[in-house]
Amino acid sequence: MKKKPAATERAPVAKAKPDSLAPLIAEVRNLIQSARRGVSSVIDTFQVMTNFEIGRRIVEHEQKGEKRAAYGAELLIELSARLTEEFGKGFSRSNLQNMRTFFLLWENRVPKIRQQPAGELPIKEKYQQATGKSEIAQQPAGQFSKPFTLSWTHYVLLLTIKDPDERSFYEIEATNEGWSVPELKRQKASALYHRLALSRDKAGVKRLAEKGQIIAKPEDVLKEPYVLEFLGLDEQAGYSESDLESAIISQIERFLLELGKGFLFEARQRRFTFDEDHYFVDLVFYNRLLRCYVLVDLKLDKLTHQDLGQMQMYVNYFDRYVKQPSENPTVGILLCKRKKDAIVELTLPKDANIHAKEYQLYLPSKELLKKKLLEWTRDQEPKA
């Protein structure tokens, strides 16, 4: 008769090799992360839609109430107190005011949802929002197939923008580029809309509001000025071109965001030899949307015709010896502290693919940019 194993004895268990689970772990990790992102997106959508509908109810209640300005303020104070008592945080008077303003600014985005007996959103609407499906017709490029595409915190920030064209631009760009709230704050603070607008004609400015930034030609990536406050270089302190270049490399991800869409970093101090002489391009990028090389040279002082001539040589070399036949002509950008348009116009032919742009190490004055844009718009008006 065989002896039974002791209770503490266990049959040996085959151990999986450490690496054998790696593919499974990777797949499960992706599923969990995707699910969490999806849940977060659904929660954001419900919050935005709920706040929109609260704003709608506040406006409709006001329209049935007394016709005096104080009524609205009193209504929000009383509503805030009652909702906070029942549901806790999130219903301050200022937040309710945001919901009201949100509805008024975006009311044409969402068709009115039929009122339910209990005041809830219809189940069908809930399903559509949760799955990303909608009965709203597909919109043209640059517009929205879903009513809202950002979080409530994004929209609260957008509420601070009074110009509807500017607000529309930032909503489209935040959606298309997946900007976080801090990134949206930074782009707004750096006056991205106004800087892009100053590099376009009137039709181009209108397209910014309707479709966001569309990259179809080299001029579409240009800004005026480029803002490099994230480099941490003191505007008043002395620094060299090498210091500026090193700071850019250490913050290359943020510099790529400032350059714009589609940029990939290739090289720093790219050397090429021609006729036994060595030349160095400060920074070399490739733009996958334009399908071309973009060369960047950094200048601390005002721009000279020698600088422009040097960049023309760099561009010519890349066009003749580096780019592939299927790629588009190379673009050159000279980033300088001061430029003189007259020097640029006299030195370069009109069809040159070279652009001189100023940079600054601090966030720009939005009011100054608005003033410049207004002056520029007047100059664009046809003369009588």
Model pLDDT, residue 205: 80
The residues spanned by each domain of the chain are 36-129, 140-220+365-384, 226-363
Model pLDDT, residue 123: 37
The pTM score is 0.69
Site of tokens 């600088």: 307
- The H or E element that residue 359 is part of is strand 354-360
CA distances from 186 to 39, 93, 134, 261 (A): 27, 27, 32, 16
Site of tokens 């479709």: 211
Model pLDDT, residue 118: 42
Closest by CA position to 296, among listed 238, 218, 190? 218
Closest by CA position to 284, among listed 272, 276, 274? 272
Q: Which CATH class is domain 226-363?
A: alpha beta
* DSSP 3-state of 304: coil
| DSSP code for 110 | S
Radius of gyration of the CA atoms of the chain, in A: 28
The Cα 249–Cα 124 span in angstroms is: 50
Model pLDDT, residue 141: 41
Which residues have C-beta within 8 Å of that of residue 29, sequence separation ≥ 6? none
Model pLDDT, residue 14: 52
Model pLDDT, residue 247: 92
Neighbours of 236 (CB within 10 A): 6
The alpha helices in the chain, defined as continuous H runs, are 22-64, 69-87, 93-106, 123-131, 152-158, 164-177, 181-189, 192-197, 202-211, 241-250, 252-259, 305-321, 341-347, 366-380
Model pLDDT, residue 237: 65
- Mean pLDDT per block of 10 residues along the chain (384 residues) reads 53 54 65 63 80 88 63 80 86 92 89 50 43 37 66 95 93 91 92 85 81 86 86 76 91 90 93 88 95 94 88 94 95 89 82 88 78 68 57
Model pLDDT, residue 10: 55
